């Protein structure tokens, strides 16, 4: 039977094409807020970092009710580092709203998310957004999106559905129209098309229970909460269910609480029926892919595989001479406890303590995926240090080492020249990506837009050169002085300003040549009998180069660390003193033995 009173849709798009803003306006159009209620923009991006970065990090579920029909809406990330969220949550949907910028057209992440939606067999409805933007050409974008669907293997039925279900919108203005030239001033045409076009779930209420956990939430009060779609039957609060994991192992659990989604929140209920999306409390240690089913008549569903991580970093307790000045939580035990708690809450990361107990290895899908966790921890008051991200390798069946992200370093596969921009596409190993964005921005004077996504496992591409420039390394633990910096800026770019706390072994600047240089950032001018200290006021300094957390992670080399505190991001040598570094180099044959 069809659940005509339910629609399940996912919203998929490239980064910054307006997914979350569109959902805001759909909520308003469906009466989710009181009249005159003050509502923040991008409601679903409730995480501070989501608002600051302007991206969606976590897939979220909400629902609206329109004309007596419940519409479950899944807002998905568009960034490749969080692509695993997209791939899984599409399993809960019957259709997808493909959101495309009317000026930019389909972009790299459009291809990424659309490919998975097509593979899942979803009905694709197109929403051409930002039709009021300068340079918008909505009809041309529709054709480009249809061409992309054909390239990605869409069926004739999917293509025909997409051609017949197109909405032109300006989400920021709360407008959706069936034609770019219409004069409609609300979002109702979009809601009507969802009700009339997206297929209702086809289910069997009388069959045994079959529900699959697609995302995992966490509560400090009740533990893990399994969220997923009910494919058949009915689930009741208080009943015993069978839990079947991806590896086939089985256990029983009692449903302690049951929730369905209700606008921006969850509503506790006594039962949830097939076709709906529910949240289940009571399955201890539940994981993505778990199937909740009837113990006496179990139903088998295809397992969900979590995407393997591609990069890892080692978290360590800070050994900086400045440790404890800016953060309240600095101990190794506290750092371990925090990361082990993250392991329970965040199933998309792999978190393990090193065998020698010197640190915790955290593996994720990319630099952004890892840096989001680091940023959250520094906001919680933690001080810690991390090493250079390293690429994770896999061994094939023949024992040969296989690398992630491409066959070779920087192999161009296509170039398309447009009226205002040129699109270049490369195959490149993950190691080649680290630091690449900044170099591209430099040579294009900030005009380039850079995206990457997983392609394939390819042969090991050999060694890839690291940072070409050497660095200036502080020789003292003192605040930087303007006079010293004025001299040093003639020899390279500085990372610090007068008065900044520095310590021995800290990176304070970059040289145009290779090789590191030890410098004194606290050197003052020697004053004679006829000189005045006020003469130093005339020193003209260029503002120092600053690094975001992602930029610092991409910049450092294997012998360096990033020190992270609630207030600062500093880069340093792993061995702080020049004597220690020379001794290490001698022991490892990197320089001729002194003396």
Q: What is the pLDDT of residues 44-79, one digit of tens each?
A: 334 454 444 444 434 468 889 999 999 999 877 655
Give per-residue burial for 512-527: e unless 16+ CB within 10 Å, then b.
Answer: eeeebeebbbbbebee
In-domain check, residue 365: no
Q: Burial of 8 by CB count in 10 Å (0-12 exposed, 13-18 middle, 19+ buried)?
A: buried
Q: Could you tell me if 19 and 142 lie in one domain?
A: yes
**What DSSP letter does each residue of 158-219 carry, written as one string?**
HHHHHHH-EEEEEGGGTEEESSTT----SSHHHHHHHHHHSPPPB--TTSPPEEEEEEEEEE
Domain for residue 512, yes or no?
Answer: yes
**Same domain, yes or no: 97 and 158:** yes
The secondary element (H helix, E strand) that includes residue 20 is helix 19-29
Range of the domain at 226: 210-293
In a domain, 595, yes or no: no
For residues 30 and 74, membership in a common domain is answered with yes
| Residue 312 lies inside a defined structural domain of this protein | no
Residue-wise DSSP of 272-301: EETTSEEEEE--TT--TT-EEE-SSS----
Higher pLDDT, 48 or 327: 327
Output the six-digit token pair for 276: 């709906």
| Total tally of structural domains belonging to the chain | 4
Q: For residue 12, is pLDDT > 70? A: yes
Q: For residue 321, which of 513, 93, 563 has the smallest C-alpha distance? A: 563
In a domain, 368, yes or no: no
pLDDT at 438: 60
Q: Is the pLDDT of residue 270 over 80?
A: yes
**Band of pLDDT at residue 337, cut at 50, 70 and 90:** very high
pTM, rounded to two decimals: 0.69
To 10 degrees, the CA torsion angle through 285, 288, 289, 291? 40
Look at residue 247 in the predicted model and tell me its pLDDT. Answer: 83
| DSSP reduced 3-state for 488 | helix
Among 115-119, 493-497, 535-539, 571-575, which is the least confidently predicted range?
535-539
Rg (CA), the chain: 27
pLDDT digits (tens, 9 = 90+) for 102-135: 998 988 778 878 888 898 899 999 999 999 988 8
Domain match, 548 and 575 both:
yes
The Cα-based distances of 258 to 220, 244, 268, 512 in angstroms read 17, 19, 6, 61
Please tell me whether residues 580 and 515 are part of one structural domain: yes
Question: Quick one: 183 and 57 in the same domain?
Answer: yes
Whether residue 228 sits in one domain with residue 192 = no
Q: pLDDT per residue over 378-427, tens digit each?
A: 999 999 999 998 877 554 433 262 232 233 355 555 656 555 566 667 66
> Is 475 among the domain residues?
yes
Dihedral angle at the C-alpha atoms of 45, 47, 48, 52, nearest 10 degrees?
-40
pLDDT at 365: 80
Of the residues 151, 174, 197, which one is the last residue of a structural domain?
197
Residue at 422 is within a domain: yes
């Amino acid at each position: 039977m069809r659940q005509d009173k339910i629609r399940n849709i996912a919203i998929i798009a490239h980064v910054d094409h307006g997914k979350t803003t569109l959902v805001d306006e759909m909520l308003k159009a469906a009466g989710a807020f009181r009249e005159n209620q003050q509502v923040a923009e991008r409601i679903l991006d409730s995480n501070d970092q989501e608002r600051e970065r302007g991206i969606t990090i976590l897939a979220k579920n909400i629902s609206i009710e329109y004309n007596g029909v419940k519409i479950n809406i899944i807002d998905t990330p568009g960034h490749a580092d969080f692509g695993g969220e997209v791939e899984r949550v599409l399993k809960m949907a019957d259709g997808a709203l493909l959101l495309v910028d009317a000026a930019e057209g389909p972009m790299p992440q459009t291809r990424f998310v659309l490919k998975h939606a097509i593979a899942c067999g979803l009905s694709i409805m197109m929403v051409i957004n930002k039709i009021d933007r300068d340079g918008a050409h909505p009809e041309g974008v529709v054709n480009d999106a249809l061409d992309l669907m054909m390239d990605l293997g869409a069926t004739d039925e999917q293509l025909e559905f997409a051609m017949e279900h197109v909405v032109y919108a300006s989400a920021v203005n709360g407008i959706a129209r069936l034609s770019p030239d219409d004069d409609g001033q609300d979002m109702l045409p979009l809601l009507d098309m969802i009700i009339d076009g997206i297929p209702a779930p086809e289910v069997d209420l009388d069959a045994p229970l079959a529900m699959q956990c697609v995302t995992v939430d966490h509560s400090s009060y009740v533990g893990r909460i399994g969220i997923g779609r009910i494919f058949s039957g009915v689930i009741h609060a208080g009943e015993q269910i069978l839990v079947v994991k991806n590896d086939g192992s089985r256990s029983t659990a009692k449903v302690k609480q049951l929730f369905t989604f209700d606008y921006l929140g969850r509503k506790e209920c006594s039962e949830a029926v097939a076709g709906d999306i529910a949240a289940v409390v009571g399955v201890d240690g539940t994981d993505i892919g778990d199937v909740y089913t009837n113990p006496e008549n179990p139903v088998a569903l295809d397992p969900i595989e979590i995407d393997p991580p591609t990069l890892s970093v080692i978290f360590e307790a800070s050994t900086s001479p400045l440790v404890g000045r800016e953060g309240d939580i600095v101990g190794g035990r506290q750092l371990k406890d925090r990361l082990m708690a993250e392991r329970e809450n965040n199933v998309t990361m792999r978190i393990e303590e090193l065998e020698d107990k010197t640190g915790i290895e955290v593996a994720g899908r990319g630099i952004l995926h890892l840096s989001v966790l680091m940023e959250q921890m520094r906001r919680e008051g933690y001080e810690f240090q991390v090493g250079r991200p390293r690429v994770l390798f896999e061994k094939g069946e023949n024992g040969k080492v296989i690398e992630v992200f491409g066959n070779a370093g920087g192999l161009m596969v296509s170039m398309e020249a447009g009226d205002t921009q040129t699109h270049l596409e490369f195959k490149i190993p993950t190691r080649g990506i680290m630091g690449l964005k900044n170099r591209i921005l430099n040579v294009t004077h900030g005009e380039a837009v850079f995206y990457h996504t997983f392609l394939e496992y390819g042969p090991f591409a050999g060694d890839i050169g690291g940072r070409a420039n050497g660095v200036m390394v502080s020789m003292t633990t003192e605040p930087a002085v303007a006079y010293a910096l004025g001299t040093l800026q003639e020899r390279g770019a500085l990372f610090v300003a007068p008065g900044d706390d520095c310590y021995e072994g800290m990176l304070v600047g970059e040289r145009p040549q290779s090789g590191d240089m030890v410098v004194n950032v606290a050197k003052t001018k020697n004053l004679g009998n006829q000189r005045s200290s006020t003469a130093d006021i005339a020193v003209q300094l260029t503002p120092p180069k600053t690094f975001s957390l992602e930029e610092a992670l991409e910049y450092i080399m294997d012998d360096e660390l990033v020190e992270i505190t609630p207030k600062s991001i500093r880069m340093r040598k792993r061995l702080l003193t020049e004597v220690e570094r020379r001794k290490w180099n001698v022991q490892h044959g990197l320089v001729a033995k002194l003396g």
